Amino acid sequence: MGAGDAGSRNAGIDALRGLAIVLVVFNHLGLRIPLEKTALADVLPTWLLNRLNWNGYEAVYVFFVISGFLIAGNALRRWGSLAAIDVRAFYTRRFARIVPCLLALLLVLSVLHQLGAQDYVFHRADQSLPRAILAALGLHLNWYEAQTGYLPGGWDVLWSLSIEEAFYLGFPLLCLLTRRRALLVPLLIALAASLPWARAALHGNEIWLEKAYLPGMAAIATGVLGALLVDAWPPPRRTVVLLGWLGAVGLGAVLLDGGALWHWLRDGYMLVLTLSSLCLLLCSRWRAERGEVRLLRGFGWLRAWGRMSYEIYLTHMFVVYAVVRGYRAWGGDPAQGWLWYLPALGLCWLLGAAVERWLSVPCERRLRVRLLGAASGDRMSVQPG
């Protein structure tokens, strides 16, 4: 496939997104059916099973970096520079991509709460359905959870959307105010580099430490910087290869032994995560532009997960809860728990594909045509988290 082909252009990025969403699903399953307690522990090391289950939070930060990279890159291709961004068109595209699925999810979750469905009812005295809806639509569900405690799982996944969309509310205005990259880039660098210090300042409130605005926005800013770098610099091939290796080693170190990195770097390990993700994105995009992309056989399913990551992220808790209830009704044998991961992954993919085909894509196209007056090109990314 040539570099101009949209599928090959984003193949590596889709694979990275696919890995991230699989880790999120594994995390939410692992909270309820830990792999370390299954029969897999007889054949695989416990540390590996634990890492498969406990990298969901890190995966969301990978999504943040990807989101900044793709959305800024799309804006650069569409308008030539971030200073020329069309604010109305930018917001319209975000609205068309985000809102249909979000409203559908809130409707379903609200009905399930009203029906008293287990796993979907608010049990904390200071939480309520109207307030949760307001928090989700008002992009402060992360703050609401920090104040009142964790929401039911179907609502909880929306914390990352609050961070991402809050960033993109201000992003085009910042681009228009700064006008020049010489002003914009230092601001983005400062924000991206603030990640470890922002996290260090938040210790004391466990939920806010996980879900505060500034660390997430720092990861998004890292992706935006990557898109600007791609637009400004065609590197030599050796540099591209080196970035790929640095990204793979760094991301592997975080995902496979984040505890050791935490011991040495404390909150700085998150900076290793975001910079490693950025290196992989840069390598993937520059290789695609050189026509050097080779799609690895057997990984098409992972790229498909990446393309549908937003839809899968919003809906996967319905599958997780259903599968866990089936597991417990079947007897809840811990040794056989790993077997329930297989149908869970298949059902997550099917539900995400159905939402994409019947809701997400048609609604996005119709909204763009109606609000922008014409059909437009590529879909803007949304990270799950």
8-17 pLDDT, tens per residue? 678 899 999 9
Q: Would 378 be classed as within a structural domain?
A: no
In SS3 terms, the chain reads as CCCCCHHHHCHHHHHHHHHHHHHHHHHHHHCCCCHHHCHHHHCCCHHHHHHHHCCHHHHHHHHHHHHHHHHHHHHHHHHCCHHHCCHHHHHHHHHHHHHHHHHHHHHHHHHHHHCCCCCCCCCCCCCCHHHHHHHHHCCCHHHHHHHHCCCCHHHHCCHHHHHHHHHHHHHHHHHHHHCCHHHHHHHHHHHHHCHHHHHHCCCCCHHHHHHCHHHHHHHHHHHHHHHHHHHHCCCCHHHHHHHHHHHHHHHHHHHHHHHHHHHHHHHHHHHHHHHHHHHHHHHHHHHHHCCCCCCCCCCHHHHHHHHCHHHHHHHHHHHHHHHHHHHHHCCCCHHHHHHHHHHHHHHHHHHHHHHHHHHHHHHHHHHHHHHHCCCCCCCCCCCCC
Q: pTM here?
A: 0.94
Q: Would 379 be classed as within a structural domain?
A: no
Q: Would 380 be classed as within a structural domain?
A: no
pLDDT band at 113; cut points 50, 70, 90: very high
pLDDT of residue 382: 55
- pLDDT single digits (tens) 318-328: 999 999 999 99
Q: Would 1 be classed as within a structural domain?
A: no
Q: Would 261 be classed as within a structural domain?
A: yes
Q: Would 93 be classed as within a structural domain?
A: yes
- pLDDT single digits (tens) 279-329: 999 999 999 988 877 777 778 999 999 999 999 999 999 999 999 999 999
Q: Would 302 be classed as within a structural domain?
A: yes
Number of domains in the chain: 1
Question: How far is it, in rounded angstroms, from Cα 69 to Cα 34?
Answer: 33
Q: Would 382 be classed as within a structural domain?
A: no
Domain that holds residue 289: 6-372
Q: What is the mean pLDDT of residues 195-202?
A: 93
